[in-house]
Chains A and B, each alone.
Chain A
Amino acid sequence: EDKVVQSPLSLVVHEGDTVTLNCSYEVTNFRSLLWYKQEKKAPTFLFMLTSSGIEKKSGRLSSILDKKELFSILNITATQTGDSAVYLCAVRGSGNTGKLIFGQGTTLQVKP
């Protein structure tokens, strides 16, 4: 059965800290891995990763994929209180369809 596991489940840091969120997966015929940020409403798209070793960056956020070891990390540097959210990892597996399998999410709280 395809599955996505995120760790840690929750994290509390102070502003300015750097955090690393983890996502490991087991899926048939991996196609891509996506990161979403969810505050109090709908998830918003952050990154899509398809190739190993290529870092995607957006401001203070960056992500990289390791297809050999079946995991991805999401880094946030110089965290701000606005980074507080649930970060979701999702993987698209077998077939040429749009179905995504979501992890349980990591809840990040950034304290002032």
Chain B
Amino acid sequence: DAGVIQSPRHEVTEMGQEVTLRCKPISGHDYLFWYRQTMMRGLELLIYFNNNVPIDDSGMPEDRFSAKMPNASFSTLKIQPSEPRDSAVYFCASSLIGLRDTQYFGPGTRLTVL
């Protein structure tokens, strides 16, 4: 299995630009999670989906952040407009029904907003 796939692996953009991060979960997994990790705040859960439906988006920082999961094999996290404080590593993770406690993480996208 290829594992969770994220793209891009690195993104550098200027303040005010739109940023789109992409994730392909492990095939057959029915939960998908978006996390953000910074030195200051550690690992934070932003939003998660079950069967493509957003279940809890209480961790999304503000309206500039949005996430979609149009089908079982693809999700996006969009930031518009981006700000320097959004600079972080963004991880996507997925888990399997019946084993939903074990989350498998993608390699992450390192976002730098100048």
Classify the secondary structure of B's interface with A. Answer: strand
| Chain B residues within 8 Å of chain A by Cβ, number | 21
Q: Using known A-B contacts A31-B101, A34-B102, A92-B101, determine if residue A98 contacts B33 with beta carbons closer than 8 Å.
A: yes
* B50 touching A98, Cβ below 8 Å: yes
Interface centre among A34, A92, A98, A100 (most CB of B within 10 A): A98
Question: Which of A17-25, A40-48, A53-61, A66-74 forms contacts with chain B?
Answer: A40-48
Interface centre among A42, A48, A97, A101 (most CB of B within 10 A): A42
Query: Which residues of B have CB within 8 Å of A100?
Result: 33, 45, 101, 103
Q: Using known A-B contacts A97-B55, A97-B56, A98-B33, determine if residue A88 contacts B107 with beta carbons closer than 8 Å.
A: no
Classify the secondary structure of A's interface with B. Answer: loop
Query: Which residues of B have CB within 8 Å of A45?
Result: 102-104
With both beta carbons as reference points, the residue of chain A lying nearest to B35 in the complex is identified as A102
The number of chain A residues touching the other chain, given as a range, is 20 to 34
B25 at the interface (CB under 8 A from A): no
A32 at the interface (CB under 8 A from B): yes
B12 at the interface (CB under 8 A from A): no
Query: Which residues of B have CB within 8 Å of A104?
Result: 42
A42 to B43, CA, bound (A): 11
* B107 touching A105, Cβ below 8 Å: no
A99 at the interface (CB under 8 A from B): yes
Q: List 14 A-B contacts (CB under 8 A).
A: A32-B101, A43-B105, A45-B103, A48-B101, A92-B101, A98-B50, A99-B45, A100-B101, A100-B103, A102-B43, A102-B44, A103-B42, A105-B42, A105-B43
